[in-house]
Amino acid sequence: MELLDGKLVSEAIKQELTTAVAEIRENGGKVPHLAAVLVGDNPASEVYVNSKIKSCEQVGFRSTLIRRPATISEAELLDLVHALNNDPEVDGFIVQLPLPPHIHEERIMLAIDHRKDVDGFHPINFGRMAQGMPAFLPATPYGIVEMLRRYRIETAGKHCVVLGRSNIVGTPISLLLSRKGYPGDCTVTLTHSRTRNIAEEVRRADIVIAAIGKPCFVQADWVKEGAVVVDVGINRIADPTRKSGFRLVGDVDFESVAPKCSYITPVPGGVGLMTVAALLMNTLKAAKKEIYPN
Ligand code: GUN
């Protein structure tokens, strides 16, 4: 069993991005600038956004964190999105999810200029991705394919079973891995809460992508010997031995599953770090206008 080490790979990517920023500076160009909008005080969102901002600093990007209270109205948040769309200083921005229940996430996502949508959540980016056109790929799926690429994991002809059909992970990674080329050319099964027998589906998988948000859901006897397991889950479970009172576990029961795998991502230290690296890669593309030249 070999770990798919998100720390190692994300650090390598950050090193490459640091070099890219240095080149931009040498050529008198504008340093990439990411803005992040954080609404309310969801502790997990707080951790993720802080990690995104800190990573920007590490690679030399400009970053701006915009905090708003959970009581912000939808109209006010839309105004903020429009201001960021029109701000020539901002290359890309994200609105951290989830948003408070009185705000329609869909309306906010649709309001983001797709040319600045470095999370890849706008339907224009999603549709372009689905058709294999240049697009901002959603950060987590982008991070996963980049991890598979950098570990040279074979994907062609493999059977990939995805758990979870969310718009931000399960559905887009299914599309990406079924597309022509590398990493791709998989036969993909997308499972979800209405799937009859998830364990049976997972047993057929050469590659398992677990993105359902249930702690330690995937069991050892579901996983084929030699499978590649990518664990997208970041779940907090109570742990009285920790000062924080909790610890993080994935959607895979790592202890029992890992010995059966050829490769597996740890939690933490796996996909989460790759998501941040992917967001930075998208921000560089936005600044260089690689996806949308105009
Ligand atoms: N919430 C969970 N993951 C993400 C992400 O990748 N981007 C944003 N904006 N919100 C999230």
**pLDDT at 223 (0 to 100):** 98
For residue 24, pLDDT beyond 90: yes
Query: Which of these is catalytic: 96, 158, 251, 253?
Result: 96
For residue 294, pLDDT beyond 90: no
For ligand 1, is residue 265 a contact (CB within 6 Å)?
A: no
**pLDDT at 204 (0 to 100):** 98
Q: How far is the CA of 97 from the centre of ligand 1 (A)?
A: 5
Contact by Cβ (8 Å): 79, 108: no
What average pLDDT does this structure show over 224-229?
98
Question: Ligand 1, atom 11: nearest CA belongs to which residue?
Answer: 97
Contact by Cβ (8 Å): 144, 271: yes
Dihedrals φ, ψ of 148, to 5°?
-60, -40
If one counts every other C-beta atom within 10 angstroms of the C-beta of residue 88, the result is 7
Residue found by looking up tokens 């570990």 in the block: 151
Annotated active-site residue 289? The verdict is no
**pLDDT at 31 (0 to 100):** 98
Calpha distance 278→8 (Å, rounded):
14
What b/e readout covers 106-139, taking b as 16+ CB neighbours within 10 angstroms?
eebbebbbbbbbbbbbbebbbebbeeeeebbbbb
Annotated active-site residue 96? The verdict is yes
Q: Tell me: the pLDDT tens digits for 252-273?
A: 999 999 999 999 999 999 999 9
What average pLDDT does this structure show over 176-204?
98
Q: Tell me: the pLDDT tens digits for 91-130?
A: 999 999 999 999 999 999 999 999 999 999 999 999 999 9
Closest approach atom of ligand 1 to CA 140 = 6
Question: Ligand 1, atom 6: nearest CA belongs to which residue?
Answer: 139
**pLDDT at 157 (0 to 100):** 98
For ligand 1, is residue 94 a contact (CB within 6 Å)?
A: yes
The DSSP secondary-structure symbol of 254 reads H
The band of 158, judged by pLDDT with boundaries at 50, 70 and 90, is very high
Q: Tell me: the pLDDT tens digits for 54-73?
A: 999 999 999 999 999 999 99
**pLDDT at 165 (0 to 100):** 98
For ligand 1, is residue 117 a contact (CB within 6 Å)?
A: no
Q: At what angle do helices 6-26 and 43-59 cross, to 10 degrees?
A: 50
Closest approach atom of ligand 1 to CA 119 = 7
**Structure tokens, 121:** 């959540």
Could you give the domains of the chain? 28-113 (3.40.50.10860), 139-271 (3.40.50.720)
> Is the bond leading into 32 cis (omega within 30 degrees of zero)?
no
Annotated active-site residue 119? The verdict is yes
For ligand 1, is residue 282 a contact (CB within 6 Å)?
A: no
